Structure 1
Amino acid sequence: MKFNKLLKFVSSFALSLVLMLGFVTPTFAASTDTNSTTTLNLMAAASTRYSLGERGVDGAYPSGTLLRAFEDQNANIKVNVTYDSSGNLLNQMIADPNHSADIFISADLARMNSAVTANIIQADTVYNLLNNKLVLIANPNTGLTENSLQYSDVLGWLNDNPGTTIAVGDPAVVPAGTYTKQVFDAIDSTTWNDILTHATLYSNVTNVLTAVANNVNQLGSVYATDAKTDSNLIVLATEDVNIIYPIGITNAAMSDTVSRAPASQALVNFLKADIAKSTDLPINGGSVFKYFGFSPAQ
């Protein structure tokens, strides 16, 4: 009889222990979740792709790029980046029912302001990060030399050289195209419309650069940072038209105070710190942004 009572006691104790362990296990699993990776979705103007970087076939960003350095320093944060014109990125974010974007880097203030108005970007996170300049470029086959043609001379050159064309970003979605239109409009009220008769409009500034490099179009209007990536292209003229790149965090990211908001702020702070560096020699700890031709926004 005593043996049976002892057996019942042991069985009851074992059952209680199993139940206790069952309740403990989920708590342990939840605690390990705090060390999991947070994935950020960065929407960035096409002209930042060289400084930020693109993942290679090995899944890593190239050495010397900002996103490589950031992920190396933040092992629990992964950054997926989408490059396109600022207008196209804005349209993508507006159309996204999942609100998956976390950070937006625009090549102009207008698209960032539109993102704030559309309740995509939280207004108090917007920060003017970078400045850039607009440059007129030419394919080497034109025979043109550095600083030999101004924007004011473009229409005459195109008219004098039948079959030649100019590549421009579509002003409807590409800030570089908007800035280019401003430059031509300042020359004469009809110049832009005349330029359009010789122009091919592209969906982002990277496509403009590629078109001129491949001699699809003999001239092009791009950012100084884009022109710097291809030493074969001829820089004909430079225009400082107050090009500002603002950065902002989405409302969707900011609403996730556990993971997306702090991770997004960490990336923004990292990019701010880079452009604030005093030199443009990344190998010596200088600024990657400055190395690629950007300057701090004024």
Structure 2
Amino acid sequence: MFNFVKNGSALCALLAFGLLAACGSNANTAGPNEPAAESSASSAEASGKTVELTVSAAASLTDALSDIERSFEAAHPNIRIGFNFGASGALQQQVEHGAPADLFFSAAAKNMQALVDGGYIEADRQTDLLANSLVVIVPADGTATVAQESDLTRDAIKKIAVGIPESVPAGSYAKEALTRAALWDELQPKLVQAKDVRQVLQYVETGNADAGFVYRTDAIGSESARIAFEVDPDAYSAIRYPVGIVKTTKHAAEAELLYDYLLSPEAGEIFESYGFAAAGRP
């Protein structure tokens, strides 16, 4: 009798242990399209493992985010940030096609909204963070006088660089402004389209274009190009930079840490030092 009770208790204990182990395993298992459990991500950082985050970001954020990377990683030594810079429209499509990304940082609200509408980013896990403005630049050593959009029709201006309007927000804003000025069609023979706003800057800096449409933040950091004039902000849609956490991130806790840091006053000072303004947000 004694031996039966003893063996039965041992069996119950083993069964209980097995059930607990199974429950624990299921609780930390995420589906292929679901974010990993926050607890597992947090424990990874706590255990000293290195977690790598991928941020798909607009090319115009390159310099500012390089400083953000150093500052954030100094505070979180177990987290490393890798950037995928490019045109916001192209980056949006990459996320939609399953390219790995933990955060998406766009130069246009429409690209973020498309990902929210498609279920790739939760509406409450994204926000408008920064604002910018559009300018026309010319080579720093150029002699052509360009003070307004109509001056771009002069014979001295032979090539004008713009981002591809369908995928580059800066190009879309430029098209809006030139269309409003009734110059978009007239200037078509002069337009040289670029894959992103940084390529527009490069074309002007190297003299491969006589003028170009870029963000103010791109222009003020250049030594080889100068601002010819500020484009009337009423001539194009407000430039907003939203940032959000991609729903399929496998590092939910770490992505949340970086998202919160991007919204912090410390990060705000870094963005401001590169010429960005804060966008109004709730």
**Number of the residue aligned with 2:152:** 154
Distance of 1:115 and 1:234 partners within structure 2: 35
Q: 2:169 aligned with 1:175, yes or no?
A: yes
Distance of 1:202 and 1:266 partners within structure 2: 34
Return the match for 2:261 from 247, 270, 274: 270
Rg larger in structure: 1
Matches within 5 A, 1:89-238: 89-96=91-98, 100-144=100-144, 148-155=146-153, 157=154, 160-161=155-156, 164-188=158-182, 191-238=183-230
What displacement does 1:272 show?
A: 1.1
User: Mind listing any 5+ residue stretches in structure 2 that lack a counterpart?
Assistant: 1-39
* Counterpart contact for 1:88–1:173, Cα < 8 Å: yes
**Number of the residue aligned with 2:252:** 261
Distance of 1:128 and 1:266 partners within structure 2: 17
Distance of 2:43 and 2:128 partners within structure 1: 37
What displacement does 1:222 show?
A: 0.2
- Percent identical: 31
**Number of the residue aligned with 1:40:** 53
Report the TM-score, using the length of structure 1 for normalisation: 0.74
What displacement does 1:93 show?
A: 1.4
What displacement does 1:232 show?
A: 3.0
What displacement does 1:94 show?
A: 1.7
C-alpha distance after superposition, 1:245-282 (max 9, x if no partner): 000111112xx5xxx112111111111114775xxxxx
* Counterpart contact for 2:140–2:223, Cα < 8 Å: no
**Number of the residue aligned with 1:56:** none
Q: 2:110 aligned with 1:83, yes or no?
A: no
* Counterpart contact for 2:161–2:192, Cα < 8 Å: yes
Compare 230-239 and 40-49 and name the one that shifted more.
230-239
* Counterpart contact for 1:44–1:104, Cα < 8 Å: yes
**Matched residue of 2:256: which SS?**
helix
**Matched residue of 1:123: which SS?**
strand
Distance of 2:186 and 2:164 partners within structure 1: 15
Distance of 1:141 and 1:196 partners within structure 2: 25
User: Mind listing any 5+ residue stretches in structure 1 that lack a counterpart?
Assistant: 1-29, 54-64, 278-286
Matches within 5 A, 1:19-34: 33=44, 34=46
C-alpha distance after superposition, 1:130-167 (max 9, x if no partner): 0001010001343146xx51123322x2xx227x2000
* Counterpart contact for 1:275–1:289, Cα < 8 Å: no
**Number of the residue aligned with 1:74:** 76
What displacement does 1:101 show?
A: 0.8
Look up the equivalent residue of 1:37 and give its one-letter code: T
Alignment root-mean-square deviation, CA = 2.1
Matched length: 235
Distance of 1:139 and 1:93 partners within structure 2: 35
Report the TM-score, using the length of structure 2 for normalisation: 0.78
Query: Against the structure 1 CA distance between its residues 276 and 80, is the aligned structure 2 distance closer, same or farther, given a 3 Å change threshold?
Result: closer
Distance of 1:119 and 1:152 partners within structure 2: 43
Look up the equivalent residue of 1:184 and give its one-letter code: L
C-alpha distance after superposition, 1:77-114 (max 9, x if no partner): 11111100001111111222xx5211000000011111
**Matched residue of 1:176: which SS?**
helix
Distance of 1:44 and 1:140 partners within structure 2: 28
**Matched residue of 2:124: which SS?**
helix
**Number of the residue aligned with 2:274:** 292
Look up the equivalent residue of 1:152 and give its one-letter code: S
Report 1 or 2 for greater relative contact order, CA contacts < 8 Å, sequence distance ≥ 6. Answer: 2
